[in-house]
Amino acid sequence: MSEEILSNSNFIHDEIDEDIASGICKKVHTRFPPEPNGYLHIGSAKAIWINTMTAKKYGGLFNLRFDDTNPAKEDNEFVESIQEDLHWLGADPTGGIFYGSDYFDKCYEYAVKLIKDGKAYVCDLSPDEMREYRGTLTEPGKDSPYRNRTVEENLDLFERMKNGEFADGARTLRAKIDMASPNINMRDPAIYRIVHVTHHRQGDKWCIYPLYDFAHPIQDAMEGITHSLCSIEFRNHRPLYDWVIENIGVDNKPNPKQREFARMNVTYTVMSKRYLRALVEENLVDGWDDPRMPTLCGLRRRGYTPSAIFEFVKRSGISTALSLCDIGLLEHCIREELNETATRRMAVLDPLKLEITNFGDETEYFDVANNPQNPDAGTRKVPFTKEVYIERGDFSDNPPPKFQRLKPGGEVRLAGAYIVKCEEVIYDKDGNVEKVLCTADLETKNNMPLDGRKVRGTIHWVSCEHNIEADINLYEHLFTIEDTGSIPEDKSFRDYLNPESHKRVTGAKLEESLKDAKLGDKFQFVRTGYFCLDSKHEGQFNRIETLKDSFGKTLQK
């Protein structure tokens, strides 16, 4: 984490500075509490970045805590994937790894305390009845008919709930607060529900589970969290968070503070775990790690780097204002990084054979820069032979005006090698261009012509004799709609899936040196884009991004 990032300030850090100056807080302690019911995505990266960066800036600690209080949707698969993603991001927890289920006994103990203090009661209302009694934003709620049960009756019923005597949904334990509160979250919220489901860590020990709004502040308090940093949708839950802390009688100081920031939404994708799960379960994508997905494992497989993702988060800003982040900024961040770091190689995705009639049968080697942006990256020797492949799109026998690539009678430079001139075009029986015959100006080894004539076009190439063949995956945005949050009610997100979001190119010809490519290596295929090996399918390359960066041009204006 760079010193620049650590020195940045925002409204959260301003408040922490005040807490430290006033003596309220001596050591900052943050946490990231994902529910293990899916894979982390780019929005999760924002929460991870804020919490890890804040802890590191103040020399504090950062916890990972799995919010596994809803056993119906949770699985060890997701636990393992979350830990893998944090490690990949360089955000390993410095304060430890915890589970919400570690605190079930303590949550139960605090619930019993609330009952004994007359601040919680067992309610028999159904979920629909509870919603009806809750009221609206403009009308107060009304008391449950079970609100005034005696302490003894509530203790008996709650213990019987724990012992499994009642069916799912038959009863809840509710906090007794204020049914007329202007904040609906304070209108006697449920804090325990009955769920007869085996827990992934606790097995069948429990059939009642605390709700997040009750369990989370208890977990924070017990771990010594000083600043519980979460997304903005929890702002209206903050009074309940504080109420739980104040009423369970926790004795550690300072009490944790909940503070909220705007969550991250990104154009041309979805962040809802429900939608992401549907994409996977309906086989609309190639799993959670599909390179078109906004999941961290998908971005990793596509070739994105932790530094580019965190740079995107940083540039998107930290505020409380809801906004839609342009995916073009994320793409710009990875291009900006890879332009400096990616090794250059030549690859021909749609090969057309070009024969140089005045070149012998020998193999000549040209020294070509590995990265013109970084002289320290050195050079490599690229084999050149009588026959080479060029991109089919780099030749036209009926060129449009101002066409600066190869055409009958025209000249181009083969990148890093000779200037060649098209002398003849050979067609197959269907009238398609099969081969182009050229002559090379053998005096132009990567130099301008001695006679001063101008050759504007430069195209890449790969030796026909020295190359490897590979399949190439080309990716575009997963959705055709910019703001997936604005989909009409009579439509589904499925109606806006981009049918052109994945194209596989077979039989591409790649520079021979790419046979030594390893997982994690990043390459710029000259004039084509940034690529890496696919981690799931051997011998395939994924396009990370194209070279074209309209967002970067916008920033320069």
Tell me which DSSP letter residue 406 carries: B
529-533 and 540-545 beta bridge pairing:
antiparallel
Max CA-CA distance within the chain?
Answer: 104
Q: How many residues are given for the chain?
A: 557
Asked if residues 38 and 277 have their Cβ atoms less than 8 Å apart, the reply is yes
Distance CA 161, CA 112 (A): 12
3-state secondary structure 381-397: EEEECCEEEEEHHHECC
Q: Among candidates 103, 104, 6, 15, which has minimal Cα distance to 49?
A: 6
Whose tokens are 């993702």? That residue is 309
Distance CA 227, CA 193 (A): 28
Q: Among candidates 104, 25, 92, which has minimal Cα distance to 67?
A: 104
Other CB atoms within 10 Å distance of the CB of residue 427: 11
Own/partner long-range contacts of 373-377 (Cβ < 8 Å, ≥24 apart): 373/339, 373/340, 374/340, 374/341, 377/343
- Per-position DSSP letters for 175-204, written without gaps between them: E---TT-SSGGGSS-EEEEE----BTTTBT
Asked if residues 108 and 162 have their Cβ atoms less than 8 Å apart, the reply is yes
Distance CA 185, CA 244 (A): 12
Token digits of residue 288? 């959670």
Enzyme catalytic residues: 35, 263, 273
